[in-house]
Amino acid sequence: MAEQRRVNRGPGAAAANRTALIAAAREVFAESGFDAPLSLIARRAGVGQGSLYRHFADREALALAVFEDNVVGLETYAAQPDTGIDQMLELIVDQVVTSIAFVELIDPPLTGGPLAGMSVRVGAMLAGLLERARDRGEIRADLTAADLMLALSMLAALLARAAPHDRARTAEHGWALIRRGLDA
CA distance 140 to 51: 49
In this prediction, residue 119 carries a pLDDT of 85
3-state per-residue secondary structure call for 56-102: CCCHHHHHHHHHHHHHHHHHHHHCCCCCCHHHHHHHHHHHHHHCHHH
> What is the predicted pLDDT for the residue at 12?
72
- Nearest by Cα to 126 from 112, 107, 139, 110: 139
Question: 4 falls in which pLDDT band (50, 70, 90)?
Answer: low
3-class DSSP state of 104 = helix
Q: Compute the mean pLDDT over every residue in the chain, rounded to the nearest whole number.
A: 86
Q: How confident is the model at residue 110 (pLDDT cuts 50, 70, 90)?
A: very low
pLDDT above 80: residue 93: yes
Query: 145-179, pLDDT tens digit by residue?
Result: 999 999 998 898 888 888 888 888 999 999 898 88
How buried is 54 (Cβ within 10 angstroms: 0-12 exposed, 13-18 middle, 19+ buried)? middle
Q: How far is CA 12 from CA 7, 15, 18, 46, 57, in A?
A: 12, 8, 11, 15, 20
Residue type, 108: P
The domain at 11-55 falls in which architecture?
Orthogonal Bundle (1.10)
pTM: 0.81
The pLDDT of residue 25 is above 90: yes
pLDDT of residue 102: 63
Is residue 29 within 8 A of residue 36, CB to CB? The reply is yes
Rounded to whole angstroms, how far apart are CA atoms 152 and 94?
Answer: 11
Q: Which one, of 41, 48, 54, lies nearest residue 5 by Cα? A: 48
Q: What share of the chain is helix, strand, coil (3-state, %, to 5)?
A: 75, 0, 25
Give the number of residues written for the chain. Answer: 184
Per-residue pLDDT reduced to its tens digit, 40-74 = 999 999 999 999 999 999 998 999 999 899 999 99
CA–CA gap between residue 172 and residue 181 (Å, rounded): 15
The closest of 92, 104, 93, 99 to 169, measured between CA atoms, is 93
Give the domain ranges of the chain: 11-55, 59-182
